Amino acid sequence: MNFRTQQKPSDSARLVALSIATAVCLLLSILLGSGLWFFFGGQSSPAPVAAPPSPPANLPASPPPSPVPPTPVIGTVLIPGGTVAMGGVEGIPPRKVAVEAFFISETEVTNQQYHEFIVATRHAAPAGWTGNNFPVGTAMQPVTNVSWYDANDFCAWYSTKIGATVRLPTEAEWMRAAQGDDNLVYPWGRTWQDNMAASKQTGGKIFPVKSFPAGRSPYGVYDLAGNVWEWTNDVELDAEGAPKTDEKGQTRRIIKGGSADEEPRTLSLFVRKAVPPTVTDPMLGFRYIVVPSSAPANNATTAGTPRPSTTP
């Protein structure tokens, strides 16, 4: 059998092959390194993006605002319903009286307001006026020298003007507007403070309404202590709850608040006086309320009550 014998490569051939192999390995190393740099080190990392904050867990939702009934008449203040402590003086047993919500005039009725009434109705002007004109410079002072009947006539006229039921406040309503929920002694607190109300300490004279804003009641009602006494719709009752009558057979009406010629102790919200409904006085005026419904109040007479006959 003839075998072919393989020839050995020469030394120069071996060197060429080794050089080629080395070059190939070097090229592969360069390519591999470039690829790794490109993918892992050649690109800058993007800036981290902050995740949006997570909403607080289990926080209660804010309650919707409570609806506030609109004030039906400019110059009145909403008094929410509640209870008032009454009695406990002059032999009258203490008791609690429930009062429904109502609107009250934030000030006493002024000369300017009363002037509009007498011009519209030809009602007699109060003492001290010249014709239908109040004294110069007193437009914003409380009207005075008006009887309980005069005050009711004003309320009847104003009811027609605004299309709502207007009347004098009951004593309980008056107290509710003055005290709020805290059974206060004065509209501003439990102790007397100077310069909170028109009294003897401020010269004994009547001031324009809203002259003592710091002395407002918890609901923002002005001059419920001092300046002028105010008519209420309530009659004076005896210990059994029956109306009292005077020597002329009249049922007297309760007035509240004291006046500018009184000492501080008389301006306490618990002080009350009973006077005949025909009385007029330079330190006696009134304010009104607007009731949400037309239902008459307890122990109150509706606006426009006729005067007693003067025929003997």
Which region among 5-9, 101-105, 249-253, 308-312 has the lowest average model confidence (pLDDT)? 5-9
Q: Does pLDDT of 65 surpass 60?
A: no
Q: Counting Cβ atoms within 10 Å, is residue 79 exposed (0-12), middle (13-18) or buried (19+)? A: buried
If you average pLDDT over every residue of the chain, what do you get?
Answer: 79
Are the CB atoms for 261 and 197 separated by under 8 Å? no
User: Is residue 266 classed exposed, middle or buried when 0-12, 13-18 and 19+ CB atoms within 10 A define those classes?
Assistant: middle
| Mean pLDDT across 193-208 | 96
Residue of 108 and 34 predicted with greater confidence: 108
Helix (H, G, I), strand (E, B) or coil at 2: coil
As a whole number, mean pLDDT of residues 186-199 equals: 95
d(CA 301, CA 165) in angstroms, rounded, equals: 12
Topology of domain 76-291, CATH: paralog of FGE (formylglycine-generating enzyme) (3.90.1580)
| Confidence category of residue 169, pLDDT binned at 50, 70, 90 | very high
Q: What is the mean pLDDT of residues 272-295?
A: 90
68 or 268, higher pLDDT: 268
| pLDDT score for 88 | 61
Are 110 and 142 a contacting pair, CB within 8 Å?
yes
- For residues 50 and 259, the model is more confident at 259
pTM check: above 0.75: no
Number of Cβ within 10 Å of residue 113's Cβ equals: 20
| Mean pLDDT computed over 179-196 | 93
- In DSSP terms, 105 is beta-bridged to 76
Predicted pLDDT of residue 55: 37
Mean pLDDT of 208-234: 98
Output the pLDDT for position 81: 94
The larger pLDDT score, comparing residue 197 to residue 71, is at: 197
Q: Are 104 and 198 in contact, with CB atoms under 8 Å apart?
A: no
Q: 86: pLDDT confidence band, cut at 50, 70 and 90?
A: confident
Question: Is residue 20's pLDDT more than 60?
Answer: no
Tell me, rounded to whole angstroms, the distance of Cα 139 from its chain centroid. 27
Q: Where are the domains of the chain?
A: 76-291
Residue 308's pLDDT is 58
As a whole number, mean pLDDT of residues 193-210 equals 96
Dihedral (Cα; 6, 8, 10, 11), 10-degree rounding: 150
**Residue 34 predicted with pLDDT over 70:** no
Q: E-strand spans in 81-217?
A: 82-86, 95-99, 102-105, 165-167
Predicted pLDDT of residue 70: 53
- DSSP letter for 166, please: E
The rounded distance, in Å, linking the Cα atoms of 258 and 272 is 8
- Label the pairing between strands 102-105 and 289-291: antiparallel
- Kindly indicate the confidence band of residue 246, based on its pLDDT and cuts at 50, 70 and 90: confident
Cα-to-chain-centroid distance, residue 47: 54
For the cut 90, the answer to whether the pLDDT of residue 213 exceeds it is yes
> Which residues is 106 bridged to in the sheet?
none
